[in-house]
Amino acid sequence: MNTDTRKVIHENQIMSSPEQTHTWTFLSNHAQALLCIARDPEVRIRDIAQVVGITERAAQRIVADLIATEYVDRERIGRRNHYRLNGDVKMRHAAQADLRISELLDAFS
């Protein structure tokens, strides 16, 4: 692969033929948000949205999903939320169902 091709792949995230400009990343927005919380348990929704590249409302929904599925606990301290990760919860996809979420977090820390 020449340098120009690598540049196009990197800049545009094109991973199929040039006439199809689908973009994708290896980690879902949920995983990205989980990693933000792992890095900073007092992270604001606004900051999660900015890092992940989504709206604040989308970040709120994702954090609510993570709380509902018990990957994350939330505690209100004053005017801020404090998050705690539950590393023993298993991953949701059948292909990784035997892995705990802490194993994913360990891989990215």
Domain residues for 59? Answer: 26-107
Closest CA to 71 of 49, 109, 99, 45: 99
Question: Is residue 7 over pLDDT 60?
Answer: no
DSSP letter for 73, please: E
- Per-residue pLDDT band for 8 (boundaries 50, 70, 90) equals very low
* Residue 12 forms part of a structural domain: no
* Residue 68 forms part of a structural domain: yes
Question: Is residue 82 over pLDDT 80?
Answer: yes
* Residue 10 forms part of a structural domain: no
pTM above 0.85, yes or no: no
**Residues 6 or more apart in contact with residue 31 via CB below 8 angstroms:** 104
CB atoms within 10 A of CB 29: 18
Question: For position 103, what pLDDT does the model report?
Answer: 92
Strand partners, 100: 90
Q: What does the pLDDT look like over 10-45, one tens digit per residue?
A: 454 444 555 566 678 889 999 999 999 999 999 999
